[in-house]
Structure 1
Amino acid sequence: MSQQALHSGGAPTQRSARNGGASQFLILQLRPEDAAAEEEFAAFLARGGLAAEEVRRVRLDEAPIPALSLDDFAGIIVGGGPGCVSDDPASKNPLEARIEADIMGLMPEILSRDMPFLGCCYGMGILGAALGAPVGKGRYGEPIGGVACEVTDAGASDPLLHDVPKAFRALVGHKEAVEDLPEGAVHLVASGPCPFQMIRAGNNVYATQFHPEARGENFANRIEIYRDRGYFAPEDAGALTKAVLAEDIVAPERILHNFVTRFR
């Protein structure tokens, strides 16, 4: 990808914000648990302001990415999942390895054409890895819960952060994180525990480490589903559920809504 496309600052222009006459969004889901996948999909529709007929949903746990043309889509949204980009390839769960390979296989075209893309949580690792940044578990992983985030100076002029407060809280829970800003990417949102909470490549390719679709009730469901996946001690599930339900999380969903509105 050229340095002209991967500029280091400034707000994206509206000129590159459309993908022809495409109207559907492609939602790629990675979660193999039916309850988690259904809850996440419903959250994407509700918080993004999307109607069912505006999306094509692909659950990558069920089958590889089908043959498709990116010309048919206004944008791509990638959900979260239990996989980690930084896991040793030799020990990766085969399903998670195949899902990762499928998504990574799309990234060169997404980046080269500056395709509207929003990666949520797992999508940060995918975008970071695609851009050559280190992704690992040693520095910036965050336990499940709310975190205080702050919009950077560059983020303040980004259209996806329109009407998002300078300081806001978001829900997180991740083992790995991008450890350095990818070359040429724009740093949009930071937090104390994890500096790279939101970044942009080019004009239209975004990733968030937090979950822009999630409210406290969504995380309460995920705590129950993922209680044995190593994100927390199982005996802490009750306290974590109480904590996330007490969070008043509203600002992050504006980012998802802005993404849909801008590229619809």
Structure 2
Amino acid sequence: MAPDLDHVRVRLIQVRERPAVIAEEQASFRERTGLRVDQLAVTDALSDALSPALLDDVDAVMIGGAGAYSVVDTFGWTQSLVDVCRACADRGVPLFGSCWGHQFVARAFGGEVVHDPSRAEMGTHDVALTAAGGADPLFSTLPARFPTQMGHHDRVSALPPGAVELASNDRAPHQAFRLADAPVYGTQFHSELDEATERARLVTYRPYYPEMADDDVFAAVLDTLRPSPAADDLLRRFLLLYAVEGGAERLAEAAG
């Protein structure tokens, strides 16, 4: 683990039902951030109480995926999670949403999300920085174009008011955004996955994607998989930049 993050504590909010996926997602976030088990405070949105009090003892919040719960739909816990997201912005607590989390953060701040399998991206695909991304404190440390790990049927169709698009591709816009006035970020791609865990996810979730039933289609998706080193380090850099005193300087030194 990076010494700079030794005292950072992160709240991971999960919306998962399958124990194996719950454990794998937690391990993936720890790997991508470099945090120890005791530094990751896990909250299950399906069973735990959701309130701004979850922010009291953490330095940042991250929201992961949700296989069976589309952001397009509203559930009993939806408004409570919206309140947590908005409290992050109000208090200046860094918030990062990955894939489903990205979509939920967008909705929480007034953006729009649509169910759109026609633009689904499975496997490894490139995204390109926008002009705003090239000037962003976090995304400017990334290459102008870089590979990412993807898997989704929903996407953000309209950003929240005041948000800025940081990365896009030809398949779907709004691959990454941030709020202009708060350390709140989202990535459509899975910032918590690398090539190996993306492969494992695809194998695990194959029965839930009708288009993957065809062996040739599934093989073609697996053939897209390749390393994504820039995206793999995004969550660690996010914490270094926003959750560590003096982290911005250290991140700039490393980039320079």
TM-score range, shorter chain: 0.7 to 0.9
Measure the CA separation in 2 of the matches of 1:101 and 1:231.
30
Q: Output one character per residue of 1:83-108: Cα deviation in whole Å (capped at 9) or x when no partner.
A: 21113x4xxxxxxx245344223122
SS state of the match for residue 143, structure 2? coil
Alignment-derived partner of residue 193 in structure 2:
214
Measure the CA separation in 2 of the matches of 1:170 and 1:159.
19
Q: Output one character per residue of 1:159-216: Cα deviation in whole Å (capped at 9) or x when no partner.
A: 2224311100111111111112222111111111111011001230111100111112
SS state of the match for residue 105, structure 1? helix
Q: Which structure carries more helix by proportion?
A: 2
Quick one: which amino acid aligns to residue 183 of structure 1? P
Measure the CA separation in 1 of the matches of 2:44 and 2:122.
24
Alignment-derived partner of residue 235 in structure 1:
214
1:109/1:120 CA distance change after superposition, 3 Å:
same
TM-score, L = length of structure 2 = 0.82
Runs of 4+ aligned residues of structure 1 deviating over 6 Å after TM superposition are: none
Query: Which segments of 5 or more consecutive residues in structure 2 lack a partner in the other structure?
Result: 1-6, 245-256
Measure the CA separation in 2 of the matches of 1:98 and 1:190.
32
Give runs of aligned pairs for residues 38-187 of structure 1, distance below 5 A: 38-65=23-50, 68-82=53-67, 83-87=69-73, 89=74, 97-138=75-116, 141-187=119-165
1:140/1:261 CA distance change after superposition, 3 Å:
farther
* CA RMSD after TM alignment: 2.3
Q: What percent identity do the matched residue pairs reach? A: 26
Measure the CA separation in 1 of the matches of 2:210 and 2:36.
32
SS state of the match for residue 109, structure 1? helix
Alignment-derived partner of residue 260 in structure 1:
239
The number of residues matched between the two structures is 234
Quick one: which amino acid aligns to residue 74 of structure 1? D
Query: Which segments of 5 or more consecutive residues in structure 1 lack a partner in the other structure?
Result: 1-21, 90-96
Alignment-derived partner of residue 10 in structure 1:
none
Alignment-derived partner of residue 224 in structure 1:
203
Structure number with greater CO (CA < 8 Å, separation at least 6) is 1
Q: Output one character per residue of 1:36-89: Cα deviation in whole Å (capped at 9) or x when no partner.
A: 1211211111111112222212233453437834232110011111121113x4
Measure the CA separation in 2 of the matches of 1:223 and 1:164.
26
Question: Which of residues 8, 11, 36 in structure 2 aligns to 1:26?
Answer: 11
Contact kept? 1:162, 1:258, Cα under 8 Å:
no
TM-aligned CA deviation for residue 228 of structure 1: 2.3
Measure the CA separation in 2 of the matches of 1:242 and 1:192.
20
Contact kept? 1:49, 1:260, Cα under 8 Å:
no
Q: Which moved more, 1:60-69 or 1:46-55?
A: 60-69
